[in-house]
């Protein structure tokens, strides 16, 4: 397949370039905070956080109307009651609406730093404290950043994060505990799990031609191994498929549930090594570079509107959020072409239509465009050209 027609990776890919640059970034990283625990995924982290906070059957968990179903599934597994609150045009919880509700059984409010853009947290933190409601700070989109005068991940009683969105790993999440809550003990990964994780990281890198000098060797060795195991060569490893196509279940379609056994297993050691050892400055700078290029190309166009008009200084964006007046059928065409784009158009059943809520409209109209560090400028230009062709005019 010619390079210009190859699918563009939607998540980071391991390669030699990932090992370059300063070890630490100027922007705070959640992985440097005290109280850090690793998990297998962002959704596993939410489940562990709810368990640590004592959420059980009948308890209310306050969740935003704009969400991936994997944000809700952990509460459902614990037989808690999801209560969906509206968000404003910047993605902040509508506290006035919440004040008018019967929240006698509310135990937890989950609030997200959407798209990797840190949200103001001081007022929300005070609101939760005054009502005895625990705050879970959802940093799945924001591994790096500062909210107000504090690093992201330090406002919540517990903060959760996702490694796969920022690092070239087949699995990974994290929790930062800022309260007396105790995270349940996790069983260690098996030797087989560790080996498979290591192989998956290399396989994805080789398939994307990121390991110069080893690409052919790795791909050939793994193809031979599949033949010995009678596995069809055309069937990619699950981790490769997830990393190449995107980790957000809402974009892929499929199972929205939580695997409790997997959620209570510790992170594979190769993924833990990447999280601890990979240089971070390149991640921040490349993501900011790609975000700014997309902003320059898409601002001022009819038919679309960047949801973030100016990139804040202290953050590393996860994606570029683009409001599209008429997203269909162009969205399906972008997906068919292998463009790194998705949207949260599969909401949890029972999400209400609320006055002045931006969450439900966002689920249809806001496309999340990849801007991760392992995109090349050529790939980003090809992606941008398709967006312009399908949606925009001067």
pLDDT at residue 259 greater than cutoff 90: yes
| Distances, alpha carbon 273 to alpha carbons 167, 262, 276, in Å | 11, 19, 5
The CATH topology of domain 3-8+280-391 is 3.90.1150
Structure tokens at 189: 């990964």
pLDDT digits (tens, 9 = 90+) for 168-211: 999 999 999 999 999 999 999 999 999 999 999 999 999 888 99
Question: Is cis: bond before 174, omega within 30 of 0?
Answer: no
Q: How confident is the model at residue 236 (pLDDT cuts 50, 70, 90)?
A: very low
Sign for the CA dihedral angle at 312, 323, 109, 97 comes to: positive
DSSP 291-331: HHHHHHHHTT-BTEEES-SS--SSB--SEEEEEESS-TTHH
Domain residue spans of the chain: 3-8+280-391, 25-177
User: How many Å apart are CA 216 and CA 213, to the nearest integer?
Assistant: 8
User: How many Å apart are CA 52 and CA 179, to the nearest integer?
Assistant: 10
CB 119 within 8 A of CB 141: no
pLDDT at residue 253 greater than cutoff 60: no
What pLDDT, on a 0 to 100 scale, did the predictor assign at position 337? Answer: 95
Structure tokens at 260: 């409790």
Per the DSSP assignment, residues forming a β-bridge with 36 are 176
Helix (H, G, I), strand (E, B) or coil at 144: strand
Does an H or E element contain 239, and which?
A: helix 238-245
Closest CA to 142 of 114, 174, 120: 114
What pLDDT, on a 0 to 100 scale, did the predictor assign at position 257? Answer: 79
Edge to edge, the sheet with strand 319-324 lists 304-306, 319-324, 366-370, 341-342
Structure tokens at 17: 């370039």
Per the DSSP assignment, residues forming a β-bridge with 39 are 173
Structure tokens at 65: 């109307």
Residues 248, 252, 253, 257: what is their CA dihedral angle, to the nearest 10 degrees?
-40
What pLDDT, on a 0 to 100 scale, did the predictor assign at position 242? Answer: 40
The CATH topology of domain 25-177 is 3.40.640
Closest CA to 186 of 258, 246, 263: 263
pLDDT digits (tens, 9 = 90+) for 104-154: 999 999 999 999 999 999 999 999 999 999 999 999 999 999 999 999 999
pLDDT digits (tens, 9 = 90+) for 21-37: 999 999 999 999 999 99
Q: Across the chain, which distance is largest between two alpha carbons, in Å?
A: 63
pLDDT at residue 1 greater than cutoff 70: no
User: How many Å apart are CA 275 and CA 25, to the nearest integer?
Assistant: 14
């Amino acid at each position: 397949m010619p390079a210009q027609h190859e699918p563009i990776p939607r998540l980071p890919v391991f390669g030699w370039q990932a090992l370059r640059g300063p070890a630490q970034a100027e922007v705070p990283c959640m992985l440097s905070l005290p109280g850090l625990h690793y998990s297998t995924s962002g959704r596993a982290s939410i489940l562990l956080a709810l368990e640590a906070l004592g959420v059980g059957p009948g308890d209310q968990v306050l969740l935003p109307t704009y969400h991936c179903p994997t944000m809700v599934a952990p509460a459902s597994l614990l037989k808690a009651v999801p209560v969906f609150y509206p968000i404003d045009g910047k993605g902040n919880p509508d506290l006035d609406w919440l004040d008018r509700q019967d929240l006698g059984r509310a135990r937890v409010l989950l609030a997200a730093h959407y798209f990797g853009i840190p949200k103001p947290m001081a007022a929300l933190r005070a609101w939760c404290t005054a009502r005895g409601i625990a705050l879970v700070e959802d940093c799945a989109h924001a591994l790096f950043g500062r909210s107000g005068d504090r690093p992201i991940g330090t406002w919540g009683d517990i903060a959760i994060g996702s490694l796969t969105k920022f690092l070239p790993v087949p699995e990974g999440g994290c929790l930062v505990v800022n309260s007396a809550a105790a995270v349940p003990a996790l069983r260690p990964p098996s030797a087989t799990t560790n080996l498979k994780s290591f192989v998956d990281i290399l396989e994805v890198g080789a398939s994307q031609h990121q390991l110069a000098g080893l690409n052919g060797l790795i791909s050939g060795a793994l193809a031979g191994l599949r033949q010995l195991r009678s596995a069809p060569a055309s069937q990619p490893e699950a981790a490769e498929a997830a990393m190449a196509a995107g980790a957000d279940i809402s974009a892929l379609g499929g199972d929205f549930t939580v695997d409790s056994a997997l959620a209570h297993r510790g992170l594979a050691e190769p993924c833990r090594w990447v999280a601890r050892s990979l240089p971070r400055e390149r991640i921040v700078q490349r993501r900011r570079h790609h975000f700014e290029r997309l902003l320059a190309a898409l601002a001022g166009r009819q038919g679309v509107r960047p949801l973030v008009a100016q990139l804040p200084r202290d953050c590393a964006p996860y994606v570029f959020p683009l409001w599209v007046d008429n997203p269909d059928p162009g969205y399906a065409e972008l997906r068919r072409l292998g463009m790194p784009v998705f949207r949260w158009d599969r909401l949890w059943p029972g999400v209400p239509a609320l006055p002045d809520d931006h969450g439900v409209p966002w689920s249809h109209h806001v496309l999340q465009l990849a801007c991760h560090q392992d995109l090349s400028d050529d790939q980003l230009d090809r992606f941008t050209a398709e967006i312009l062709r399908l949606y925009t005019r001067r």
